[in-house]
Structure 1
Amino acid sequence: MSTDLGTLRGLAHLARLEFDETREQQMLGDLNNILDFVAQLEGLDTTGVEPLVHLSQEVNVLRDDVAQNTVSHQDGLRNAPRKDSDYFRVPKVLD
């Protein structure tokens, strides 16, 4: 399986990429190498091979998700450059 310069230019347009002449030829060669490799993989006999869901048999042990306040309100405001009694003061964004 291989592709031509027109297909590469169409893909580059869709991906919003721009190539000069030499880089375009290099990309065309690389794309054809990738497609040739995929064609080789398609030719392999995979009967009896189970699909891979995870890369390892390791089981991730997670802690329970418990909501808690780790920083108090006052501690959160302590290093604020500008603050009111209970809120951060920020520059005005909307008119």
Structure 2
Amino acid sequence: MSEITPDVVRHLATLARIGLDDEEIERLTGQLGAIVDAVATVGEVATPDVPATSHPIPLGMVTRADVPGETLTPDQARGGAPERDGDFFKVSSILGEEQ
């Protein structure tokens, strides 16, 4: 069983500058105690011959190779724009002022 007591929770709340009432302290005492107990259980089964891992399934390369491919021409890229000004997209001002 963990050593989380209401006094420990009060002390932690003071360090974190969190105001807790008595009901919250009692509830958090049980919750923090359960968390500490769960971590202790994991610590009991962890052995030095088991490497630490951040993911239970080994991950390989998850991105595709960076290979040049076909791209849009400038006219194709601007083709769907509602308004154009020569080679540029025309958009309304975001500040409400015309430039």
TM score, norm. by length of structure 1: 0.56
Tell me if the contact between 1:5 and 1:28 (Cα under 8 Å) persists in the aligned partners.
no
Q: Which residue of 2 aligns with 1:43?
A: 44
Asked if the contact 1:8/1:28 (under 8 Å) is kept, the reply is no
Letter in 1 for 2:31: D
Instruction: Give 3-state SS (helix, strand or coil) of 2:71's partner.
Output: coil
Report deviation, 1:11: 4.1
- Contact residue 13 and residue 20 of structure 2 kept, 8 A: no
| Contact 2:9–2:25 under 8 Å retained in 1 | no
- The two structures have a TM-score, normalised by structure 2, of 0.54
Residue in structure 1 matched with residue 57 of structure 2 by the alignment: 56
Structure with the higher strand share, 1 or 2: 2
| More divergent stretch after superposition (26-35 vs 72-81) | 26-35
Cα-to-partner distance string for 1:22-67 (whole Å, 9 max, x where unaligned): 6675455323321221123233451322233653346447542023
> How many pairs does the alignment contain?
91
Aligned-residue identity in percent: 24
Gapped regions of structure 1 (runs ≥ 5)? none
- Could you list the runs of 4 or more consecutive aligned residues of structure 1 that deviate by over 3 angstroms after TM superposition? 8-13, 18-29, 57-63
